Structure 1
C-alpha cells in the first residue's frame, strides 16, 4: 500500500486533477485507490473547482499538530488500499514545514507528485489568483509572492529529508504529458492507465481571468467592494470567470500572460540554471531541459494587453447585473456611474514603475539611520532589506546622507511590508526649516507587501527626508527605498 501525495503546485492543473479524482471515486476504489473525503464539486459556483481533499492538513502542520495528522493518515490506511491525497497547500507545507511533513510520512511507503510550470507562465497565473482571491490591489507581484512559488528551492530542500526515488516531478506542458493529457499523466504517476471507463471533468475547471476582467477585479479590490465577504467574492469571481469564458478566453494553456515579452524572457533567464538542475536531478535529463515549449517572441500576431476602458468596464458591469436586475440594468448602471466610482478609478492617474525608471537614481538607503524616534526599537539591515521594529505608535527616522542635488522635484519608490493596515508618511524639508505636516505625503498601507511610487514637487531643492513607516507597533520590512529625479 502506498500513499500518493499530490502537492500541486498551484496553477498546474490541480483543480482539474482533483475534479477527475472526485468524479471517479468509485472507479478508483475498485482499482485499489482511495481518494478519501472527496470535495464537493456542486458548490454553486458554476465550475468544478475545489481545494482538494487534504487542504485542511496545512493548518494542522502549521500548528504543529503532527500527532493529529498521524491519526488521520492511520485511519485512511486502515482501508488497506492505496491512498491519494491532493492539495496545493501541501506544496507550502513542504516549503515551510518539511521536517514536520516527513516526520508524519517517512514511516509509510509514499510517492510525492509535484507538477511544475515555467516561471513566466506560473507567476502570471499566480498574479491572476492573487487578484481574484487575496484582495491584491497592486499591478505587480510582490517579492514574497514569487518566493512562495520557487519550486526549485523547495524541491532541493526536500532531498534533505527524502530519497529522490520517492519524488515524481512532472512538467506542466501539454506536449510533455503522458498521452498528451493531464489525467492520463497523473494516472501514469500512480500506476494506472486512462481508459473509457473513467469520467472526464469539464474542459474548463478553474479559468483564469482575461486582462479586462482581471483589471476589473483589481479595481474592486481597491474599492474594497467585497472585502471580508467571501460569499460575495466567490459570486463576483464566478461571474467574471463566466464572462471570460464566454469571450473565448480563460482556457488551459491559452496565452494570457500579464508580462511583456521582454519581462517573460528575463524571468526565464533568471531561473534557467535552477531549472537545468531540476531536470538533471529529478528527471535524469542530461541536457538539463525541463521545459520544451518555445520561448515567447514578438511577432505580428502578438498583442500587448490594453488598459481597461470605461466602455469595457460598463459592459462587464452589465453582465454581472443582468441576472438580478434584467430590465433595469441601464438605470442601475446609471445610478452606479453617477456615484463616480468607476469613472474616478479608471481615470485616476498615478506614476507607474515604467515612468519611475525613466529618471536617474539620486539616492538609495544604504546606511543606518542615526536620527530616529523613541518608538523605534531597532533598525537593522538584513541582506537586501531593512528590519524595523516599532515599539510604539510614532516610529520615524531621518534618511541618512540624503543627496540634496535635485531641483525640487523627486520621485520616491518604497517597497514595504506592514504588520497591519496603517498609514505611511514621508516628510521633507525644502524651503521649510523643519519637518511639518504641510510638507508631507501619506499613503494607506495594507497588511503585507506594499509598493508605493509618488512625486514631490517644490520650487527649492529637497534637503532632507523623514520616513514614518506606520502608526502601529510591529515589525516593518523595508524592501526598497529609492529616490529619482
Structure 2
C-alpha cells in the first residue's frame, strides 16, 4: 500500500514563510478537494487552520522522546483523517523547524507511516540577518555590531541546519530553494511552493502573496531608540499600529541598511562561505554560487538632520491619519 506524503516545510523564517502559510490557510478547502490536508495550528485535523504549526513545535516538552511520541500521535490522527477524506498528502509548515537542532529527531519514526518530503527556502545570509534584526534582534540586543560579533550563534548557518535534517535520513527527500525571485517558479515563493506540491498556484485564489513585509530603516531607527515599547521579541504591536494608520509608508524601502554596508555584507558572506559551497555542490551543482552576490547594496547613510526631517514628516502623517479615522 502506498504511503501518504508528508510535505514538511521547515522554513527558513524571513524567506517567504508567512506568504506560504497565508496561502495554505486561504486555500485549505480547495486544497483538500485536490487531496492535500492542511492541519490546524496544533497539528490536528479538522481544526482552525492558520497555515502553520509554529507554536505547536515551539511549545513541545524538552523531553525529546515524549515530544517525538506527541508529534507521531498527532500525525497519525491526520493520517486517519486523510484516509476518511481521500487525501494523499499532508502539508505541515513551521519555519522554526530549521532553527533548533534536534527538531529533525522528532520525525525519525514518521517515515514508517509517510513518505516525507522536507522543503526549505534559504535567504542570503546578509539579507536574513538584516531582516532578523528588524523582526526580533533589536528587541533584546542593544547593539547591532555586538550582536553580530558575539550573539549571532548559528543564526543563518544553513549548512549546519540542513546537515541535521540530512543526518536524520531525509537527505534524498530534501528540496532546497534559494529565496531569490528569478530562481522561483513564477518569480513568486507561493507559486513555487505550490509547484513543488505538483499544483498550479494560479488556479487558486491566493489573495495577496506578499505577507509580513520588512519595514523601512526609518521605522527601525525609531524602534531601536524606543525598545521599551516592546514586551518581547514577538511583540509587534507598535509596527501593527504604524501599519494600520500609515499603510505602505511603514514598509517603503530606502535602499540599503543603516547597519550594513557592502563590505560588511561581504564579510558576513565570507563567514558562511564554506558551508554555502557545500550546499551549492549538494543541491545546486549547476550554479557557480549558492546565492547571487553580484549586487550587494551600500550602507544607507543620511545626515542626522535628514533623518530628523523624515521622522518629523512621519509623525505628522501619523497624526493626520489618526485624525481622519476619528
TM-score interval (norm. to shorter): 0.7 to 0.9
Q: Report if the CA contact (8 A) 1:28-1:34 is conserved.
A: yes
CA 1:293/1:180 → structure 2, altered by over 3 Å: closer, same or farther? farther
Distance in 1 separating the partners of 2:51 and 2:25: 12
Which SS does the other structure have where 1:160 is aligned?
helix
Contact (CA 8 Å) 2:68, 2:107: kept in 1 or not? no
Q: 1-side partners of 2:239 and 2:9: how far apart?
A: 26
Q: Distance in 2 between matches of 1:99 and 1:248?
A: 35
Specify the alignment match of 1:249 in structure 2. Answer: 252
Name the TM-score, length of structure 2 as normaliser: 0.81
Indicate which of 126, 133, 138 corresponds to 1:127. Answer: 133
Separation (CA, whole Å) in 2 of partners of 1:210 and 1:63: 41
Larger Rg: 1
Query: Contact 1:117 / 1:172 at 8 angstroms: preserved in 2?
Result: yes
SS in 2 for 1:67: helix
Q: Corresponding residue for 2:272?
A: 271
Per-residue Cα deviation, 1:200-235 (whole angstroms, up to 9, x for no partner): 2325311212111001111110xx1343697xx433
Q: More helix by proportion, 1 or 2? A: 2
Q: What CA RMSD, in Å, does the superposition of the two structures yield over aligned residues?
A: 3.0
1:361-376 correspondence to structure 2 within 5 Å:
none
Give the structure 2 partner of residue 206 of structure 1.
Answer: 212
- CA separation of 1:148/1:36 partners in 2, compared to 1, >3 Å: closer, same or farther? same
CA contact (8 A) 1:12 1:117 kept: yes
Instruction: Tell me what 1:15 maps to.
Output: 18
Q: Secondary structure at the match of 1:18?
A: helix
Superposed CA offset, 1:420-469 (max 9, x none): xxxxxxxxxxxxxxxxxxxxxxxxxxxxxxxxxxxxxxxxxxxxxxxxxx
The 1:305/1:311 distance shift into structure 2, 3 A limit, reads closer
Is the contact between residue 62 and residue 97 of structure 1 (CA under 8 Å) also seen in structure 2?
Answer: no
Seen in structure 2, the aligned counterparts of structure 1 residues 131 and 201 have a Cα distance that, compared at 3 Å, is farther
Cross-structure match for 1:448: none
Displacement, 1:6?
0.5
Instruction: Show structure 2 runs of 5+ residues with no match.
Output: 43-49
- Give the distance between the partners of 2:121 and 2:61, measured in 1 at CA: 22
Structure-2 change in CA distance of 1:270 and 1:305 (3 Å) = farther
Query: Aligned residues, how many?
Result: 301
1:181 aligns with 2:184: no
Contact 1:179–1:185 (8 Å) recurs in 2: yes
What CA deviation, in whole Å up to 9, does each residue of 1:317-353 have, x standing for no partner? 44555565x39xxxxxxxxxxxxxxxxxxxxxxxxxx
Distance in 2 of aligned mates of 1:175 and 1:4 = 24
Residues 144 and 247 (structure 1), Cα distance of their counterparts in 2 relative to 1, 3 Å cut: closer
Aligned-pair CA distance for 1:148: 2.7
Matched residue of 1:278: which SS? helix
Answer yes or no: is the 8 Å Cα contact 1:117–1:173 preserved in 2: yes
1:85 aligns with 2:85: no
Q: TM-score, normalised by structure 1?
A: 0.56
1:259 aligns with 2:253: no
| Residues 44-78 of structure 1: per-residue CA shift (max 9 Å, x gap) | xxxxxx78234312221544322222211111111
Per-residue CA deviations over 1:100-136 (Å, capped at 9, x if unaligned) read 323353333111101001111111111111257x444
Q: Deviations over 1:375-430 (max 9, x none)?
A: xxxxxxxxxxxxxxxxxxxxxxxxxxxxxxxxxxxxxxxxxxxxxxxxxxxxxxxx
Look up the SS of the partner of 2:226 in the other structure.
Answer: helix
- Which structure 2 residues correspond to residues 401-420 of structure 1 after superposition, within 5 A? none
Mapped to 2, the partners of 1:114 and 1:14 lie a distance apart of 10
